[in-house]
Structure 1
Amino acid sequence: MNTSRIAVVTGANQGLGRALVEGLAARLDEADLVLLTGRDPGRVEAAAREVARAPETRARVEGRVLDVTDTAAIAALADELRASHGGVDVVISNAVARVLPDESQSARADEFIDVSNVATHAVLRSFGAVLRPGGRLLVVASSLGTLGHLDPRLHPLFDGASLGEVERAVESWRGAVHDGSAERAGWPRWLNVPSKVAQVAAVRAVAAERRAADLAAGTLIASVCPGMVDTATSRPWFSDYSQAQSPRQAADAVLDLVLAQGADPALYGELVRFGKPLPWRDGTPLTEQDRLLTP
């Protein structure tokens, strides 16, 4: 078995994903391998080539086409890495579908949910099964992923839920968006809120099942909030970017978590921002924000 470290980053053509690949490539060793993944072959090839040639790069960098909405492809890549390397050491699930403020949230719901949630569930299942002892499996979410941002009627769907129950809650939400009952049931109009809560709940569900064994092995599963990042995806939503980080700055705190020795029990299964856990039940529903959005 090849004992070099293997890292996989999804949604890595640009923005935070690419910065995470760049940071891993600079901070891992020459024998290690970083897979930069995305769904556009040309962009994947170009980004991987540029990162590989950067003067600070030490690890090997390869591009790999991966459409995260294809759950079979996620499973196939995990199986391939198990067969060729005995598993994987770092997985950062970062892919997100871009939605602009003037676009219909309901019209974009399927793509958004498939990229942000269905893919997250598949990554947790497929790569969680091949994560080597001492590994890291991180899902990029946001501070909107705390339970308090949802209407209290929806809390039982996610609080203490299993991964299967989270999946069913996400599909119930999707159905409510399409049949027009979502707002009556308490779902926010802004897709990002229930999507992020569901991502964090999915991580918590998987972590709850594995906690004892993972902590004994120094393995960490968590969701991460990188803070405000100046990217093409987030820029249209905010008028003031004076406090925003560059993708490279935002990647640093995530990479510190990846490369820390052992697994901190206080961070295991939690939503982590700048090295500290955010309270799961924190936040308040963003009803005023919702009123500003296009139906």
Structure 2
Amino acid sequence: IDPSEIFVSDGAKSDSANIQGIFSQDCVVAVQDPAYPVYVDSNVISGRTGLAGEAGYEGLVYMPCTEENGFFPELPDRKVDLIYICSPNNPTGAVATKEQLKSFVDYANEHKAVIFFDSAYAAFITDPSLPRSIYEIEGAEKCAIEMNSFSKTAGFTGVRLAWTIVPKALQTEDSEPGKAHALWTRRQNTFFNGASNVVQAGGLAALSKEGREQTDAQVAFYLENARIINEGLKSLGIITYGGGNAPYVWLKTPGGLSSWDFFDKLLGECHVVGTPGSGFGPAGEGFFRLSAFGHRENVEKAVSSIKESLQI
């Protein structure tokens, strides 16, 4: 990666929404389902998706992430132009293998599609066999744009600092290499004044030797929170996923409850709040997300309340 291919920004969230602005309005968009809502909603706002029905938006290609496929989707069953992938995934906590990412890179290069790869949680990957960047996959520089963030490692969620990589080798169906890079450069120069110097100084501190030691310790702290949540739920017989290489625990709602019914049950019986899986897309129904981002005493108190009070 050349330094000129790295764009400093005010957040991976805004970049993942804004990046679509350099692509044609009639691009066909594929999203993991369940998915981080920004991927879907920003395309809804842009007018790409059509109307919503019971199964989602008619103009989107949903790639279901289920228990059967390990919460990583199969390739689109038709030609698409833009593909959103998040690994480690929010909300499921699933992490793509190199083989899984290679299948999407090969698909994108064959069909001249572009992958938007959200790696905001890459620092939580503890398994050395799992890729932290899509550019570990041969050919990805020709088809993938990667986004990352200081929010999840250095606590910059409210401060806002991130980066997006747009390789000059990236080529779309109807443009030569370098065009996407030039368009994103123009878009950022026109619509964005840059992250503040104060915030960037904080980012440099976070990337220093001392800063890396501190952020690594913080990541380990949150992963321990995830372990505590996972073990507490499993002790009740609740089926869980994620948590090992991600800060989210994705649980299957017990007793066949809907996501929102379980939300009400968890709040009413245990005084614990989480996120209904259905809020992340049609395939999230029947699941629920708990976050490891919190103080240890609050996590332990919540898990204890669940173990003592949840009536299954």
What range describes the TM-score normalised by the shorter chain of this pair?
0.3 to 0.5
Q: Choose 1 or 2 for highest CA Rg.
A: 2
Instruction: Please give the TM-score of this superposition, normalised by the length of structure 1.
Output: 0.33
Instruction: Please give the TM-score of this superposition, normalised by the length of structure 2.
Output: 0.32
